[in-house]
Amino acid sequence: MTYRMFVPPSLVILLGANVAVHSAEADTLKPAAIQTDDVPPIPAAFAARLAQYQNTRSASFAGWSPDGKGILIRTRFANALQLHRVYEPGARREQVTFFDEPVDGHFIPKAGDGAIVFAMSQGGSENDQLYLLDRAKFTTTLLTDGRSKHSLEVMRDDGHLMIVGSNQRNGRDTDLFVADPRKPGFQRTILEVKDEHWIVTDWSKDRQSLLLNRYVSINECYPAVMDFETGKRRDLALPGNEKAAVGALQFSPEGKTAYIGCDAENEFRRLARLDLASGKYEWLTSDIPWDVSGLKVHHDTGKVAFTVNADGATQLYLLEPLPGTAQKRRELPLPTGIVSSIEFSPDGRRLGFTLARPDAPADAYSMDLATGNLTRWTYSEVGGLNPASFISANRIRFPSFDAREIPGWYFRPPVASPTRKAPVLINIHGGPESQAQPIFSGTTQFYLNEMGIAVILPNVRGSAGYGKTYLKLDNAEKREDSVKDIGALLDWIARQPELDASRVAVTGGSYGGFMVLSTLTHFGNRIRAGIDVVGICNFNTFLANTSPYRVDLRRAEYGDERDEKMKAVFERISPSNHADKIVSALLVAHGRNDPRVPFSEAEQIAGKVRAQGRTVWTVYADNEGHGFAKKDNGDYLRAVEAYFLKKSLGIE
């Protein structure tokens, strides 16, 4: 059983304008932890209408209860995501954690008392601590040191031991430790690392072995198997002579083979059954031309569930054992959407997961594997809005400078027509090795239905999900080729009779923030406004100041600034060195505790653009990190963004 702690996204989009006023009205809406400059008061009626869309709620599946009769979910009723227990489909959500910070966690396997191990950090620092929630004793116990960064890697199927990653030794390297989920501290170290990043993906049914994956970049991984008692590690060879990516990695029930998803000798991550002794690969999904994105093996029944990212939507499959070593594969029916966090029920008869759809909030579901019947466990509220008004997205593709087709998603507002052309918001994902998928957003629905703004989510070159060649097209000195894709999207917008190419804004977070700023330096005369949320403005200063445990991971993707040639490339392409070219209205938002993209990146770009006499709105949060995870902060930022768009795009 593998746990990957969720970092809540900042569900933000953008705005732009030239107003500089403060008032009691603005202070009433603004949370105490937020500081702003040049942000005008948000009209009360405008904020009130947006509030309905901000009060949509979602729920994500966080695992089965040990008895298989209920589930754990993450949802928000107050200011931050908390854990709730649901005892049967459609029943009330019983809140079990009550903190001011977002929480993620899981039941301890076979725990009759319903004990939970959960992770939480403070103020967006991402220095996650692990806690034991003992629901029988009504106590919460800190299990880790209270200061370093920790991750719950895997928990043994009897619930007595877990593997924890921690950088407590030097703040940089994440070592692996054995711990008791009911006692503070670590029992022993099983792997001490230097300048490497290892992830534990599974624990064998006989409890003797661990599967690990050394992550270098999204294009390069190295799987291994480890003896739990001795710590002896044996690398698992990948087919072919080129570097390959490894995603899914799980033991089969007998522990002599493993299921592995990798892109060795292929464009996509195929699923294979790997004989751990001989190293032989048996490919199971060569007929599916998409990435295997998720995997779960039920160690008692031998059933294997896996998901495929098919052009941004999820396909779900089940492998069932037949006599001998044969397996039967069948696709399980799903509505169009994105499935995540798949997990077998303890008896192996059902599969639980989160289902996110373009036109409805994410909710927790399960599927009966014998019948394929889908059961909805949670019914998230939509702020009193009419669900029939929610708009789904259409797939688009547009040619770029080199004739390559760039995929994306297009949300078209209902009022858009050749006689009433709609303004456009381009929302660029981060990573860059991420993928824009059409997941429901209340803010997007507000733009579509209330402001008449079209929203486009491009997957520029370098995005995941379209093969490893496409993934590598923006690496190192080719970084700005992805910015050229936005120029091609502007050309595509100009060809659409229902879109207004003279009223375009662009938004993005993290690496998407870099894309926003770079777009403004290249195509400023075609962009009215840009929103940079926790974005990078200078790769050299970013790499110099990001958290030590992240720097090598980012060098593997962006390039190594210690190489003088790469450093020169960074100087040439960094938006902070071209701030004089930014003529569009700019909104910059950032959390002061951001461990990924340092807050100094926001200060740097805002200061340089202001020095050119341009108007810059800034929204900074004292209690946030890489994104605005708290509802009051996020609601205020989205209100500022929406008003910024209204002013900058000339929306009445």
CA distance 640 to 38: 11
| DSSP annotation of 42 | P
DSSP string covering 156-208, please?
A: -TTSS-EEEEE-TTTSSS-EEEEE-TTSSS-SEEEE--SS--EEEEEE-TTSS
List the one residue out of 389, 296, 347, 304 whose CA is nearest residue 4. Answer: 296
Per-residue pLDDT tens for 190-225? 999 999 999 999 999 999 999 999 999 999 999 999
Per-residue pLDDT tens for 493-540? 999 999 999 999 999 999 999 999 999 999 999 999 999 999 999 999
> Which pLDDT score is estimated for 394?
95
Whether the per-residue pLDDT at 19 is higher than 70: the answer is: no
pLDDT, mean of residues 375-379: 98
Q: Classify burial at 23, counting beta carbons within 10 Å of its beta carbon; exposed 0-12, middle 13-18, buried 19 or more.
A: exposed
> Which pLDDT score is estimated for 29?
85
Is 24-55+384-648 a domain of CATH 3.40.50.300?
no
Contact present, 361 and 75 (Cβ < 8 Å): no
**Strands 529-533 vs 585-591: parallel, antiparallel or unpaired:** parallel
CA distance 40 to 43: 9
Whether the per-residue pLDDT at 632 is higher than 90: the answer is: yes
pLDDT, mean of residues 445-449: 97
Where do the domains of the chain lie? 24-55+384-648, 197-332
Q: Classify domain 197-332 by CATH number.
A: 2.120.10.30
* Least trusted range by pLDDT, from 24-33, 390-399, 560-569: 24-33
Quickly state the pLDDT bin for 304 (edges 50, 70, 90).
very high
> Which pLDDT score is estimated for 126?
95
> Which pLDDT score is estimated for 27?
55
pLDDT, mean of residues 401-420: 97
Mean pLDDT of the chain: 93
pLDDT, mean of residues 75-92: 96
Element (H, E) at 217: strand 209-217
Per-residue pLDDT tens for 577-626? 999 999 999 999 999 999 999 999 999 999 999 999 998 999 999 999 99
> Which pLDDT score is estimated for 22?
35
pLDDT, mean of residues 433-447: 95
Positive or negative, the CA dihedral 298, 316, 275, 320 is positive
Per DSSP, what are the bridge partners of residue 457?
409
Per DSSP, what are the bridge partners of residue 408?
396, 458
> Which pLDDT score is estimated for 3?
42
Percent of the chain with pLDDT over 90: 90
Strand boundaries in 522-649, DSSP class E: 529-533, 585-591, 616-621
CA atoms within 13 A on the CB side of 180: 6
Contact present, 69 and 87 (Cβ < 8 Å): yes
* Total-model pTM: 0.93
> Which pLDDT score is estimated for 12?
32
